[in-house]
Amino acid sequence: MIEFVAHNLAPIMFGSLVIFLLLGYPVAFSLAANGLLFFIIGVELAPLSPDINLFWPLLGALPDRFFGGVMANETLLAIPFFTFMGLILERSGMAEDLLDTIGQLFGPLRGGLAYAVIFVGALLAATTGVVAASVIAMGLISLPIMLRYGYDRRLASGVIVASGTLAQIIPPSLVLIVLADQLGRSVGDMYSGALVPALVLTSLYVGYVFILTMLRPNVAPALPPEARTLGRGVTSLAIAAAAAVVIAYAMTVYLDGKVAQGAGIWGATVAVVAVYVVAVANKALKLPLMSYLTQQVIIVLIPPLALIFLVLGTIFLGVATPTEGGAMGAVGALILAFGKRKLNLSLMTQAMESTTKLSAFVLFILIGARVFSLTFYGVNGHVWVEELLTSVPGGETGFLIVVNILVFFLAFFLDFFELAFIIVPLLAPAADKLGIDLIWFGVLLGLNMQTSFMHPPFGFALFYLRSVAARVPYLDRITGKRMEPITTGQIYWGAVPFVCIQIIMVALTIMFPQMVMRYKTEVPQMDPSEIRLQMPSFDGGLGLPPLGGASGTGGNQQNNPLGLPPLGLPPVGEPGAPAGGPSAPAQPGTTAPAQPAFGLPPLNFNSGLGGSQAPATGTAPAAPAAEPEAPTAPSGEPAPVDLSQPPVIQ
């Protein structure tokens, strides 16, 4: 029995962790306690199994894993920045203004309020990145309005829950930051890869509402005329949008070539600023340039869009890292709150307290995961998981199907942070071994883990909406009618269609990986047979002095534009030049070899080598002769070695 436990310690350890979590113990302490408990067991059982590599001094690696691996991780700094930014925006009233204005814009359409909730949910996701803030804000603001005008309770609650969870996948998502950290990939690449799937998912939500309103018009009626307080003016809004496009195109053409990069971005920025200035001037001076609806839409919509560009635009352009983008977003949120006159000490205190709680929650889970992984890797648990997953029938496709089913069902019980810190580090090595791109794999897991917020009965987004939805009958403050409460069953059933849409999105991401793989820079491939090397032409030579003769004389002047002295080498074919190569003639009356033409001392390898002069080309080798004496210079010293002749070694 003991030997069986020793040889199967990894699966026993993983199963024990699942039991601890199902019993309701805090995740961070379950991870740490499970890791330390099995570390003790593993050290005692190490002599019985070669798969256990645990020993007591290994505990000394924990401080380095805490301080060097967790505390020094700059990527995780983006989590408190984006959390603080989202809480400031949520408490400054931006969500309320957006929902009211966009709801008025889409009000004349059937399902207009649902469209507005989805659109505002995407905007809040791109500015806050916090699911709780989005769901609670839209539940408090839009749910009473939707019920007031006769929306089906299941559709209303489902749209709010699903739109709030868009903060999971739309950058700057906290989930994507954690996934990038656990997969060892760039947060910027993860953001870029998740952008298109997030937009497609938002479009699927809109498509579901559109189809439902076509089939059942009564579930989402249009706003009555008396509820449209901003009046009409869609034509004016279309004209303003067309003017912005024209300005953006003109500025892009003008700036093309005048800026290093991003001429289109600068052109769009100038157009948006111009339209915003006109709207503010129209409101301040009461000008008849645009309708009241257009004016309000522009004034309310552009500041959060500018904040999105400040955060995501700088990251995608490579100007700022995600951590720096989060810091700029936090400053931008404070500026927007100050502009709305909502920035005060109470707001700052609440935002900082919530940010500290969430950051500490993430940090303690990560520390517990480091303790667990130290023991789990010590018992070769990663090898067990890798072999288990890579041996799934179907290769890469079978692996993806099994992993997504596993994550889908684990999401019923675990939060996305718990999944990211426990499951993802075990799945990543197997995915990498199968050749799966880890950015694509991370986005796929992010889409799957997004369902953890909508799963009945443990979805956190369902709990957030349940906390703000009416539990008892109440009187509507506008119409005075008695309104029935929202039941928990209605919230659960409203989320089910959007969970199905989420599964469809996971399947689409597997079928069309280029939605994510667009983050890669395309490198043009070239056929090696088409490569051609072309030497540059040097008209007039390289500017070197002539090989002999005086500088600046005769025709040598045009080949010596720099006026350098001659190299002392007579041209081939002139008197004194040898026929076989560029060496200077021997000086008459001397026994030493002539100095080379390049001014180098002669080199003779005959001395000390026992060799002789190399025979001429095409002649038979001569018989060995007596070793000649080393030539001497006129001064009696040995002659320098002649470098102008090749050495001969016998």
pLDDT at 262: 67
CB of 130 closer than 8 Å to CB of 167: yes
Would you say residue 586 lies in a domain? no
Query: For each successive 10 residues of the chain (650 residues), what is the average pLDDT?
Result: 77 85 82 89 83 81 77 79 82 78 83 89 75 78 84 90 86 84 86 90 93 90 75 80 90 81 78 90 86 86 83 78 86 87 87 87 84 85 80 83 87 76 85 89 89 77 83 76 85 90 91 84 50 55 50 48 52 47 46 49 48 44 48 53 56
pLDDT at 246: 92
Residue 111's Cβ-side half-sphere holds a number of Cα atoms within 13 Å equal to 19
Same-domain check for residues 53 and 123 = no
Same-domain check for residues 21 and 168 = no
Same-domain check for residues 297 and 224 = yes
Would you say residue 34 lies in a domain? yes
Please give the full DSSP string across 139-167, using - where no structure is assigned.
Answer: HHHHHHHHHHTT--HHHHHHHHHHHHGGG
Same-domain check for residues 37 and 155 = no
Same-domain check for residues 224 and 361 = yes
pLDDT at 629: 52
Same-domain check for residues 46 and 102 = no
CB of 538 closer than 8 Å to CB of 554: no
End residue of a domain, out of 521, 546, 581: 521
Q: At what angle do helices 345-378 and 78-91 cross, to 10 degrees?
A: 150
Would you say residue 561 lies in a domain? no
pLDDT at 551: 45
Same-domain check for residues 58 and 158 = no
Residue 161's Cβ-side half-sphere holds a number of Cα atoms within 13 Å equal to 36
Give counts: helices (H), strands (E), the chain.
25, 2
Number of domains in the chain: 2
Query: What's the pTM?
Result: 0.69
First to last CA, the chain: 78
Same-domain check for residues 147 and 10 = no
pLDDT at 489: 87
Between CA 368 and CA 362 the distance in angstroms is 10
Distances (CA, A) of 71 to 64, 76, 398: 10, 9, 37
Same-domain check for residues 187 and 312 = yes
Would you say residue 433 lies in a domain? yes
Same-domain check for residues 51 and 132 = no
pLDDT at 524: 44
Would you say residue 455 lies in a domain? yes
List 482's β-bridge partners, or say none.
Answer: 475
**To the nearest 10°, the Cα dihedral for 620, 622, 624, 628?**
-130
List 474's β-bridge partners, or say none.
Answer: 483
pLDDT at 528: 52
pLDDT at 527: 52
HEC-encoded secondary structure of 573-611 = CCCCCCCCCCCCCCCCCCCCCCCCCCCCCCCCCCCCCCC
Task: Write phi, then psi, for 475 (nearest 5 degrees).
Answer: -95, 130
Same-domain check for residues 451 and 335 = yes
Would you say residue 543 lies in a domain? no
Would you say residue 574 lies in a domain? no
CB of 137 closer than 8 Å to CB of 124: yes
User: Of 127, 162, 126, which Cα lies nearest the Cα of 142?
Assistant: 162
- 482: part of which helix (H) or strand (E)? strand 482-483
Would you say residue 80 lies in a domain? yes
Q: Write down how long the chain is.
A: 650
pLDDT at 586: 47
Same-domain check for residues 139 and 46 = no
Structural domain span for residue 479: 74-232+291-521
- Cis peptide leading into 588, omega within 30 of 0? no
Q: Which residues contact 289 (CB under 8 A, 6 or more apart)?
A: 278, 281, 282
Which structure tokens are listed for 447? 């889409």
Long-range Cβ pairs for the range 385-389 (8 Å, 24+)? 385/10, 385/426, 385/427, 385/429, 385/430, 386/429, 386/430, 386/433, 389/427, 389/430
The residue assigned the tokens 């023991």 is 375
End residue of a domain, out of 506, 521, 536: 521
End residue of a domain, out of 70, 85, 109: 70
